[in-house]
Amino acid sequence: MESTERQADALTLRADCTNCFGLCCVALPFGRSADFAVDKPAGTPCAQLNDDFGCSIHTRLRTSGFTGCTVYDCFGAGQKVSRVTFGGEDWRRNPRAAPAMFAAFPVVRQLHELLWYLTEALTLAAAREVHGALRELLAETEDLTLLAPDGLAALDVPAHRQRVNVLLLRTSELVRAGARPAGKGRRPKDRRGADLMGARLRGADLRGTSLRGAYLIAADLRGADLRRTDLIGADLRDADLSGADLTGAIFLTQPQLNAARGDGATRLPTALERPAHWS
């Protein structure tokens, strides 16, 4: 039951570009790099944005030098700001509202990311003792996403994020406590913020390890066991997850998977999708 509810909630916390006014293509800046072929300042529409707010190169973003776009996910903030905060009135028809809309989008995006984590935490039976507090904070966070533009602009997002993080940390501890690695009663390691760039972790038993905010760029995680591993904020860019077991990994997001490499043998949590560019 909880798994089904989680999947239903995940759908509302994932980008629905058909109901968005291309906000990520306008509000956000990007610079010429390996991820983006050109420079674009915040508030300026991308040259590839169509009149209907669709992307003219959507099916060939990676080959056109816009890998960064294929990694990004707004967690459903785009449609929330477009259809709820601004009631379906787009920035082209109402240019006066454009600055407020572009300012609201990244705020709601951060709140929707927190909703993703809180929603997932409520599906974890091992964290049942904090479910009541999680539900309260989930409802409060949802209410914040419904604030008017002025309210969103005045919101102290870092302070709210810190309150959420306290509960997510406790959730992580409770879940990982049941994933002791085999052998001599060893406790799962805490590798928060660790520099593991390019690390050779092929086949590693990482069950229950905290990799919160760890740098796993280009790490070799082929065949690694990442069940009940806390991956919140971990940088998985170009990490090789081929054959890895991520079932039960906690606080993993679609953008993290999109930034990594994997294959048909990579095992994923049910709420996430296998990226189209994986082999």
What pLDDT sits at residue 27?
96
| Percent of residues, the chain, with pLDDT higher than 90 | 88
What pLDDT sits at residue 186?
59
Please tell me the distance from the alpha carbon of residue 2 to that of residue 82, in angstroms, as a whole number.
30
| Dihedrals phi, psi of 108, to nearest 5 degrees | -65, -35
- Amino acid identity of residue 61, one-letter, is L
Report how far apart, in Å, the C-alpha atoms of 245 and of each of 117, 130, 232, 260 are.
20, 27, 16, 14
What pLDDT sits at residue 182?
52
Please tell me the distance from the alpha carbon of residue 115 to that of residue 77, in angstroms, as a whole number.
11
Asked if 278 contacts 257 with a C-beta cutoff of 8 angstroms, the reply is no
Quickly list DSSP for 78-100: HHHIIIIITTT--TTT-GGGHHH
Asked if 147 contacts 140 with a C-beta cutoff of 8 angstroms, the reply is no
- Amino acid identity of residue 210, one-letter, is S
Please tell me the distance from the alpha carbon of residue 149 to that of residue 96, in angstroms, as a whole number.
13
pLDDT above 50 (res 8) = no
Report pTM. Answer: 0.91
Asked if 256 contacts 237 with a C-beta cutoff of 8 angstroms, the reply is no
- Give Cα 142 distance to the centre of its chain: 17
- Confidence band of 1 (pLDDT split at 50, 70, 90): very low
pLDDT tens, residue by residue, 141-150: 999 999 999 9
Structure-block tokens of residue 199: 């690390």
What pLDDT sits at residue 185?
55
What pLDDT sits at residue 14?
84
| Dihedrals phi, psi of 55, to nearest 5 degrees | -100, 130
Q: Residue 11 carries which DSSP code?
A: H
Return the residue matching tokens 């294929």.
Answer: 70
Please tell me the distance from the alpha carbon of residue 135 to that of residue 76, in angstroms, as a whole number.
20
Please tell me the distance from the alpha carbon of residue 53 to that of residue 66, in angstroms, as a whole number.
17
What pLDDT sits at residue 279?
73
When the pLDDT of each residue in the chain is averaged and rounded to a whole number, the result is 92
pLDDT above 70 (res 183) = no
Mean pLDDT in residue range 19-27: 96
Please tell me the distance from the alpha carbon of residue 238 to that of residue 256, in angstroms, as a whole number.
10
